[in-house]
Amino acid sequence: MGLKKKSIFFVMIIFAFLILFTGSVSATNDTTAPTVTDINPDTGATNVPGNIIINVTFS
């Protein structure tokens, strides 16, 4: 039981870091190359809920 809970916790941390890194990358893309976001609106769409999830977990 303890190992299973720990592995789930580590996976959640890894996902949080992935969301953080992808969020920062898409944020830089928004400022430097707005054409990228126009072609790929999915990056901005996935960025917003990811940041909301991180804010909820850390607060």
Look at the block and give the residue holding tokens 């580590």: 10
| Segment 1-59, tens digit of pLDDT | 566 777 888 888 888 777 776 665 554 444 444 444 444 455 544 444 445 455 455 54
**What was the pLDDT predicted at 11?**
83
SS3 call for 32:
helix
What is the number of structural domains in the chain? 1
**Domain extent at residue 20:** 2-58
**What was the pLDDT predicted at 42?**
52
Q: Which residues contact 16 (CB under 8 A, 6 or more apart)?
A: 53, 54, 57
Sign of the C-alpha dihedral computed for residues 20, 38, 28 and 31 taken in this order: negative
